[in-house]
Every structure is written in structure tokens, then in C-alpha cells.
Chain A
Amino acid sequence: MVPTLSIDELSVSFTHRIGTLEAVDGVSLQIAQGECVGVVGESGSGKTQLFLAAMGLAGDAEVAGSIRFEGNELLGANQQAINRVRGSKLTMIFQDPMTSLTPHLSIGTQLAEVLVCHSGLSWREARDVSLRMLEKVRIPEPRRRLEQYPHELSGGMRQRVMLAMSLLCEPALVIADEPTTALDVTIQAQIIELLRSVRSEAGMSLALISHDLAVVASLADRILVMYAGRIVENAAADELFRQPRHPYTAELLKCVPSLSGARLARLPTLAGQPPQPGEALAACAFAPRCPRAAERCRSESPVLAGAPTSQVACHFPLS
């Protein structure tokens, strides 16, 4: 079966007066039909840039490699071909639903516009489909919401609208970039629940980008861990949490405060800090913070290797 999204050796770099900044450095990944892949990493790890590039939204960045969506190459494809899938079959929702919506258009207009542009529906038909979609994402009083403007809705409600918009054309893949980060914990729980139910009904693939391991844990089948622009571990979600193999994953998991277990006098921490943009990296970018680092880690770059659902880029993985 052709994977929904297949990315090969993708690099995203920015040219800056101080030099070239490598945001994504030779990343390869696949997302299968119906699969939910979580992408975790700290800020600056390149997780957002990776998927913005996949959407053709990388702006000024230099993008090299290959991005195939349902078998068709998107990188270097003409704008028409990209526009056919982007926003319909390949959609993305962002952290801040307020800035993702147009403030001066009603919710109904913004939703219907997607269908008018992509599916060729009339405005009247598009409005009916939009209304049904708002019902599907369980927005109370959906008919009234169509007439409202973004500022009249709460943050949670706006994120539901964004999700509804991303689902209008029955997408094959929805990319959700920190969809719950700006929301309160109770609203976050609602949106996670909603993503879960929408995915089981619609059967689309989902790429869930988050810095929050626990959010990803609640939805993802498989998890990619990114550090300094590279994927350092790729594993089935339950495996990853039970038995992390990359030292970075293991250290990161230790840092997540828990609601159960003993209270500690001091919190576990990861020494040092993630590399800053433009900072010269060791052969293994994590080596300076890694408790297992040895000479080899500073001279030879580890490659992501192993079975497709259990890969790690480390010379000395945990077993």
C-alpha cells in the first residue's frame, strides 16, 4: 500500500547573515493510511518546520529532498497541483486557532469557502455540509455558530472550528501542530477526545506534533522523537514509553512530572540546553547533554537504523 505521506532525506534550511541555519537535517519518514504518528521534541527541534515544508508553507526556507503525498511528489510540483491537495486532502491545524481564522469573516463563510474552492459546491450546498461538520465536531448550537465571528468563540470552540475546516474535504492526512497547547487542561481533554473519535470515524491519518509527551501518548500509534533537526528515535508508542532506546527519549521521559508515584525533593532534569539556532553541533547533536556519550559520538554521526517501527539514531542505545 502506498503510504499517505512519504518524506525522504528532507532538509529545511534558512540563509541568514550569520550563515545557513539547518532547521531540518535529512529527515525521512512515512505515515501509513489511517495511522496516527506523534512527533515530539523541544522547541527548535524542527518538528514544525518539517511539516510546514510538507505543506509547502516553509516560506523563505530552502527545502531539499522529497515529499510524496499519496505517491505524488509535492516538492517542486507546480502550484496548481499543490493547491489541489493542500487544504482538502492534506490539511493542517495550528496551535493558535485565533490567528488561524480570518477575523472579519463569519465562521460559516470561512468553512463554506473551502468546499466552494476545492469541491466545487455552491455556497448553499457548502453551507449545509459546513453545518453538518460543525455538528460532527460537537459544537453546541452549530447553526448559530455559522453566523458568528472568531472572536465570539472560546479558544476550545475555535479549535473545533479549525478541526471541522480541516475535515471538510475528507482529508487523507491531517497535521495537527500543538493543537491543544494553548488550551486549558479540561478543554485539552475534550479536543483529544474529539480527535480520537473523528479519527476512528473518518479513518484519516494524523500527524500530531507536540512538545507534550503525555498528549502524544494519549493518541499516537507510533512516535517520532526529534532533536536538533533530526529524528533520533522512531517506535510504537507503547514500546517507546515502556522501553525508550535513545538516551534523549529516556531522559526526556524522566523529566515529565507525574500525578502519581513518590514526590521528589528535586525534579529530574536534563543537563544543559537544546542547541541554539546556528550553534555548531557535535557529530551527535545530543552528545553534550548525554549521560552515555563517548568519544565516538563526537566524531561519527549516528544514523537512524533498525526495523521500520523500532529505529534509533545512537551509537550506544539503551536495551
Chain B
Amino acid sequence: MSNPLLQVRDLRVDFGSQTAVRDVSFELFPGETVALVGESGSGKSTLARAILRLVEPTQGSVEFMGVDLLKSAAAVLRAQRRNLQIVFQDPLASLNPRMTVGDAIGEPLKIFEPQLSSTERRHKITAMLERVGMGAALAGRYPHEFSGGQCQRIGIARAMVLGPKLLICDEAVSSLDVSIQGQIINLLLDLQLDTGMSMLFISHNLAVVRQLSHRVMVMYLGKLVEVAACDSLFAAPLHPYTRALLAAVPQIPPATACVPLSEGSLAGGSIVSGCAFRDRCPYALPLCASADPPLDEIAVGRKVACHRSHEALIPLS
């Protein structure tokens, strides 16, 4: 296997006394799509922002294309940012309402490719607009003239115009209607096919994740609790939290009712010892309150942080 494009080691993010991301390590290979799933408050977005240094991590390292971003000088970091782009959840809020969409897509070019003439830049902008399925004639319009799905295409065009090696999608399709969601996902898949970029796809929607990712990482209260190839995760989830997440997804036709997971009482900041999931876990043992299970590699490419991962646990329903 080739060298990883992104190598995150022991990354930790603290906000005051609260720990949002605790000692997360993973790698992302060229051309790979890795999904990051978990509930709100699990630290998914904070992890993504820490990789981009939009929030400052407390410790750890983020090696991207061989450069440690956390130790880089501002100029080096800035130069790397063109290879490392992000698309946000709310497409309208992430576009400047007073900037035409052409200018929004052109701005990264102005910053990173100042040598381009305005004609060359305009050509790149129209080519990019067409690439994301929007007419070149729309470059002079403003974001409020577009629907959510169209704004997300514009956000993607702005992120892709520099040809990044890694695209982070932070709930990029979550606010879209289901009929539009598929269009945007197909667009991302096409762009990946064209450019060979990697994607870190953050989502709470497991059915979407299943369709597009190669590997899945499950996060709970700041910690990765399971990492697996997409197919094996969905075929046989090992961590009780992953199982509960999957069981909670509503299905058509409705699946047989299962016992929904209770609401947790542990918050990110209050965990001093033991497994953070133990208060909601139907399989918790006394051991889980005292020892935090490490993320162990139990098979090739398969990691689980659970004291009972070696046991065949009875299904939840």
C-alpha cells in the first residue's frame, strides 16, 4: 500500500476543561473515502477542524503529504491549505451573500494562483461551474438566488477549483432533500474519480455513508470506538455503540422494533476513567467503569475499543 496522504496521531482537542477529541489516530490513503460517524457532540466536526487547524489541537500530530501541519510555520500551512479543502453543512451560510458565485469560486484562485490573468481565471471559474453541473452563465448571480442543492454545488466548486488532494465534507448533504442528496453525492464521487482525491466524509446518516465510503470510523464522545472497512462494519458491527446506531436507523419497510438506546448521562468533560459508553451500553461489565478499553486491532484493518469485542454478544433486539 502507498504512503498515507494524511496521518493523524494522538490528536487531542480541549476546550477549557472539556475534551472534545481524545487521542485520535488514523490514516487516510490517496483516493480513499473514509467516513466519520457519530452523534452530535461526538467531536466529528472538531476533529475535522483540528486537522485544518481551524481549531488548535492541544497535542498530537497531523501529517499531511509528509508535512506536520501542527508544527508548520504559517506560510507552510497556508501553502498546504490548497490541497486540503472543506465543504460545510449549511451551503448558504458558507457563501458570502455579497459575493457573486463566480467571485466566490475565483477567490481561492486569486490567493493561490495570483499569476493568472483575469481571463484565465474566468475560464477556470466557468469550467468549474460547468463541472459541478451549473451553467457558466450563473457566475454573476448571488447565493440567495439559488436553492440549497445549487448552493452546495457552488461550495463544492469553490473547494475543488484548486484541485485539492483531500476534501473534507462536514455533513455536506445533511441539510438537503433526499432527491438532491443523491445528486450531490454522485457529483462528489465523479469528482473523486476524475481527480483521485481522498475524502473525509463526516455524516450522521449511516445509509449515506454505506453508499460511498471505503472505510468507516465510529466516534463516541471524542474517541474512535470502531474502525472498519465499510462492508464489514455494516455486515457485522462489533462495538455495542455501532450496533445501536445501526439498529436505530429507520428502514423502509420498518424493521422489527428494537429497544432504543437510552440517553447518556456521561458528558465529554466528565469522563475520568473507564469506557465513555458504559452508561448506555447493554453489555457493560464492572471492568468498563474502571478501565478505558484501548482501540485494538482485532483483525487486519479492523479496530474496536471494547472490553468484550472478543465475545459473541447477543443481538440487541
Contacts and interface: CB of A to CB of B under 8 A. Distances in A.
Interface band, chain B = 35 or more
Interface stretch (B10-18, B160-168, B240-248, B297-305): B240-248
Interface string A47-89: 0000000000000000000000000000000000000000000
Given A42-B177, A189-B261, A213 B252 contact: yes
A189 B248 contact: yes
Interface residues of A, number: 46
A244 to B, nearest CB: 11
Nearest to B230: A263
B1 interface: no
Interface stretch (B50-58, B92-100, B104-112, B181-189): B181-189
Given A255-B179, A263-B211, A185 B251 contact: no
Interface string B237-265: 00000001111111111100110111100
Contact of A157 (B186, B248, B263): B263
Contacts, number: 128
B208 interface: yes
B222 interface: no
A56 to B, nearest CB: 28
A136 B189 CA distance: 47
Contacts of A257: 181-182, 205, 207-208, 210-211
A185 B253 contact: no
Nearest to A266: B186
B245 A185 contact: yes
Main secondary structure of the interface of B (DSSP, over half): helix
Nearest to A41: B177
B188 to A, nearest CB: 10
Contact of B250 (A189, A238, A260, A265): A189
B260 A193 contact: yes
Contact of B178 (A185, A211, A218, A260): A211
Nearest to B180: A273
B82 interface: no
A253 B182 CA distance: 12
Contacts of B180: 270, 273
Contacts of A42: 177-179
A255 B181 contact: yes
Given A257-B208, A259-B206, A263-B210, A238 B253 contact: yes
Contact of A252 (B178, B211, B244): B178
Closest 10 CB pairs of A and B: A270-B179, A214-B250, A267-B182, A257-B207, A189-B248, A269-B182, A189-B260, A184-B39, A42-B177, A190-B260
Interface of B: 39-40, 147-150, 177-183, 185-186, 189, 204-208, 210-211, 230-231, 234, 244-254, 257-258, 260-263
Given A242-B253, A259-B249, 15 more contacts: A42-B178, A185-B206, A185-B249, A186-B244, A186-B245, A186-B248, A192-B260, A214-B249, A217-B250, A253-B252, A257-B182, A259-B210, A268-B182, A270-B180, A274-B179
Interface of A: 42-43, 140, 154, 156-157, 184-190, 192-193, 196, 211-215, 217-218, 238, 241-242, 251-253, 255-260, 263-270, 273-274, 276
